[in-house]
Amino acid sequence: MQLAYSELQPEMHAESGRRKKAQKIIRVLEHHLGREDLKDLVVLDLGCSTGFIADELAKAGGQVVGIDIDEPGLVAASKRFGNAVAFLCTDGSALPFPDNSVDIVVFNQIYEHVVDPDAVMDEIRRILSPTGVAYLGLGNRLQVIEPHYGLPLLSWLPYGLADRYMRAAGKGEKYYERFRTRPGLRKLCHGLRIWDYTYTVLCEPERFGADDMVPGRLATAPPAFWKALAPIIPTYIWLGTKEGPAPAGGPTRFPPTPFQL
């Protein structure tokens, strides 16, 4: 994870936006688990930064640990939420948890900042309990507008050209983020059974708190519309399990789709 990321990206301090993202995560998890809360579940927020999402997970009943290497973000998080959440400064590729000990891992919009995301995913698989679930919010390299800098097609470019594009646009000296395409993300998640919630969420944005992903005029778009956009959808929402059961929530317009990696 990028050091002091909260000082580079003001969005990490945008409380209302971060809490809204948390509600989407919580609603998807509750649907998958068939629960109305996360009470008594051990929850790891991996890449917690300033702690707003971790705080919402705790409010939903989880026993939450937030992990990051963003020291300024962790200081701010501990100051505000330290009574409800345990925050640790440690590397995601060497997590201080026993095997099979965590019920929920949230790994949301983080992998592109990590030096070795495959090593982090190895750790997620190691610590996840047999019936646990990993919430994976995974950015797509082929998204049209790069989310951190707002530049069209930035993540499509070879990295040297992306650096030049950043400098020309006055956004910085180097493009550090390393997104993957959908096939690369499937490889990243090998060893897990994946339930693809992407289209489930996009087809019912109000139900899953995802109107930040879906413009109002598209809120009733049919599933076929979203499937057609699959190669360039900005973020995939996947839930990974080792051997957990199928989603236990109620019917949806587009049921979560399983695939084994």
Residue 84 lies in a domain: yes
Range of the domain at 104: 5-143+179-260
Residue 67 lies in a domain: yes
pLDDT tens digits, residue range 175-190? 999 999 999 999 999 9
Q: What pLDDT score was predicted for residue 7?
A: 45
Query: In terms of DSSP bridges, do strands 235-241 and 193-196 run parallel, antiparallel, or are they unpaired?
Result: antiparallel
Residue 156 lies in a domain: no
Residue 69 lies in a domain: yes
Tell me the mean pLDDT in the region 122-134: 97
What CATH number corresponds to the domain at position 197?
Answer: 3.40.50.150
Tell me the mean pLDDT in the region 196-204: 96
**Overall number of domains in the chain:** 1
Beta partners for 66? 45, 87
Q: What pLDDT score was predicted for residue 13?
A: 59
Residue 166 lies in a domain: no
Q: What's 247's DSSP letter? A: P
Q: What pLDDT score was predicted for residue 10?
A: 52
3-state secondary structure of 216: helix
The pTM assigned to this predicted structure is 0.92
